[in-house]
């Protein structure tokens, strides 16, 4: 078999393949053996009819179509491997010559991963927010904890923000009752915003046994999206009394003996949350900084497929009703044009990120180990609330294991990118990324060491360079 590759664009190639007819002989033999089992000729046992007799009695073109249909995918894969291209998506196959007894000729156009020129990862620098915990944040956590142990007490006054009320609701649309909107004895916290728009404003200022009518737009049920006249009646008003933040409360609400110990624990709790947020910011900033420095040609077909998939998911719940979709967008304060523009921008960024991460992973030789896959599988199983083995079966059945493998590899890659970068916080302190992303992989350690060696070689050229480079190396 002979194959050549034409580069149509940085992200698309045409592979020209010629397969000598003699190379298809094993494929024809298998096809003839299968056919011989089904054909009966006098004087021959089933499966023993000579090929020359079969060739005289069968439709050769039909046999050729069958053999070619089965042979092309394998020959395409061989051509891809020989050309050392990395295809994205399915190829467009065009069979240009197919005659019995002659060479098979076909072309395959397919999107491929583009060649990407990567920057020096050890020179990557970016800044993230510093971690600081102020008194207001700790006080908020303490207030939330006190609220959990608060008690509700009935009051003989008008309802106000933060009160708990028992209410009856009813609604009409064009003068007709909306049955699904009718309820009695519903408990509601004023200011939570958990129910319909305008309800909190209507309740505020009402006393027990008082009612008010207001207009709102229903968001669920048969009349979703329609204006309704809603009547709310207050049955009772209760205020929440919070326990005093003292040692007794600390012993009630935690394992600590004093309120000072509890507050110290809350400081640590807030700091842990901020460390998680800083880790996410480091990951996002590393990607953002890298994307800004790299030109990544985008395969249009792959981008368009992602655009179409997002649009399909968005309108699927609306029975693909374009008018209903436009109305839903309008309620969100946007338009179809704005949705399409954002959708394409997001798709381009997602595809660019995936291609870039794969290129970096190849450059650094990132390998996914069994432990990495097991760790991800266990984490996902906890999220879905099923056993890891059961999740594995689901992923296998839906052919999602390759996607999970690719996702794990990209996660390891972004960790490697972070480790290679110099990360400082807004106060000028260098951030130890190993705290969030684990120890530096061997691949990157070697890369950074090589950069340091080059810098050391440059030091020999000038005393002035010695001081400057040493400062840079220390910062790294």
Helix residue spans in 41-119 (DSSP H): 51-57, 60-83
Instruction: Give the pair of three-digit tokens for residue 6.
Output: 């034409």
Give residues with Cβ within 8 angstroms of 434, minimum separation 6. 419, 440
β-strand partners of 92: 109
The architecture in CATH of the region 2-111 reads 2-Layer Sandwich (3.30)
Q: Is the pLDDT of residue 105 over 60?
A: yes
d(Cα 434, Cα 415) in Å, to the nearest integer? Answer: 9
By CB atoms closer than 10 A (0-12, 13-18, 19+), residue 363 is middle
pLDDT of 242 strictly over 60: yes
Please tell me the predicted confidence (pLDDT) of residue 221.
77
Report pLDDT for 342.
95
Instruction: Compute the average pLDDT of residues 102-111.
Output: 92
What tokens were used for 254?
A: 């935690």
Architecture of the domain defined by 151-241: Roll (3.10)
Contact 110, 87 (CB under 8 A): yes
Averaged confidence pLDDT in the chain: 85
Domain limits, CATH 1.10.3120.10, in the chain? 275-452
The predicted model gives 21-43 an average pLDDT of: 69
**Rounded to an integer, what distance in angstroms lies between the CA atom of residue 279 and that of residue 195?**
35
Of 275, 265, 248, the closest CA to residue 142 belongs to 265
- DSSP codes joined into one string, 112-130: EPPP-----GGG-EEEEPP
pLDDT at 213: 94
Residue whose C-alpha is closest to residue 206's, from 257, 160, 145? 160
What's the per-residue H, E or C state across 286-318?
HHHHHHHHCCCCCCHHHHHHHHHHHHHHHHHCC
CA 72-76-82 angle, to 5 degrees, is 145
Tokens of 343: 């959708």
Average pLDDT value for residue range 108-121: 92
Dist CA 265 CA 247 (whole Å): 14
Mean pLDDT of 256-263: 95
pLDDT at 451: 40
Percent above pLDDT 90 for the chain: 51
Q: What is the pLDDT of residues 392-404, one digit of tens each?
A: 888 888 888 888 8
**Confidence bin at 84 (pLDDT 50/70/90):** confident
pLDDT at 39 over 80: no
Q: Cβ contacts of residue 116 below 8 Å, gap of 6+? A: 294, 295, 296, 355, 356, 359
Domain limits, CATH 3.30.70.1050, in the chain: 2-111
CATH number of the 275-452 domain: 1.10.3120.10
In this prediction, residues 7-36 reach a mean pLDDT of 83
Question: Where in the chain are all domains bearing CATH 3.10.50.40?
Answer: 151-241
Predicted confidence band of residue 69 (pLDDT cuts 50, 70, 90) = confident
Question: What pLDDT is recorded for position 359?
Answer: 92
Please report the pLDDT score of residue 255 as a whole number: 94
């Amino acid at each position: 078999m002979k194959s050549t590759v034409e580069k149509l664009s940085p992200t698309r190639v045409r592979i020209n393949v010629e397969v000598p007819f003699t190379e298809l002989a094993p494929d024809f033999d298998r096809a003839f053996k299968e056919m011989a089992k089904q054909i009966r000729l006098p004087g021959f046992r089933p499966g023993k009819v000579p090929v020359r007799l079969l060739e005289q009695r069968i439709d050769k073109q039909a046999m050729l179509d069958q053999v070619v249909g089965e042979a092309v995918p394998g020959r395409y894969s061989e051509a891809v491997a020989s050309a050392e291209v990395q295809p994205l998506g399915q190829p467009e196959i065009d069979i240009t010559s197919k005659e019995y007894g002659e060479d098979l000729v076909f072309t395959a156009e397919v999107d491929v991963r583009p060649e990407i020129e990567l920057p020096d990862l050890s020179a990557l620098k970016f800044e993230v927010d510093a971690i600081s915990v102020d008194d207001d944040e700790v006080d908020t956590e303490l207030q939330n904890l006190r609220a959990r142990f608060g008690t509700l007490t009935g009051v003989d006054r008008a309802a106000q923000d933060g009160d708990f009320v028992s209410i009856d609701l009813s609604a009409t649309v064009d003068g007709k009752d909306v049955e699904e909107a009718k309820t009695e004895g519903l408990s509601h916290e004023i200011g939570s915003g958990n129910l319909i728009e305008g309800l909190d404003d209507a309740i505020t200022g009402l006393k027990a046994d008082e009612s008010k009518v207001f207009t709102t737009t229903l968001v669920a049920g048969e009349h979703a999206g329609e204006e309704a006249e809603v009547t709310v009646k207050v049955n009772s008003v209760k205020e929440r009394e919070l326990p005093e933040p003292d040692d007794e409360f600390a012993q009630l609400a935690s394992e600590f003996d004093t309120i000072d110990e509890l507050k110290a624990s809350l400081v640590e709790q807030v700091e842990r949350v901020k460390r998680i947020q800083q880790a996410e910011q480091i990951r996002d900033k590393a990607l953002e900084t890298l994307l800004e420095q790299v030109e990544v040609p985008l395969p249009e077909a792959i981008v368009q497929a992602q655009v179409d998939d997002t649009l399909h998911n968005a309108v699927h719940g609306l029975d693909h009703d374009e008018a209903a979709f436009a109305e839903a967008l309008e309620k969100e304060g946007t338009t179809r044009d704005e949705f399409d523009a954002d959708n394409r921008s997001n798709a381009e960024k997602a595809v660019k990120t995936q291609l870039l991460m794969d290129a970096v992973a190849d450059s650094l030789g990132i390998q996914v180990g069994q432990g990495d896959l097991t760790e991800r599988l266990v984490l996902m199983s906890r999220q879905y609330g099923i056993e890891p083995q059961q999740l594995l079966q689901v992923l296998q059945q839906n052919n999602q294991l390759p996607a999970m493998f690719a996702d794990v590899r990209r996660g390891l890659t972004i960790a490697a990118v972070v480790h290679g970068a110099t990360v400082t916080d807004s106060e000028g302190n260098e951030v130890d990324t190993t705290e969030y992303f684990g120890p530096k992989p061997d691949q990157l350690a070697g890369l950074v060491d090589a950069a340091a060696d080059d810098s050391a070689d440059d030091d020999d050229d000038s005393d002035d360079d010695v001081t400057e480079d040493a400062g840079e190396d220390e910062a790294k």
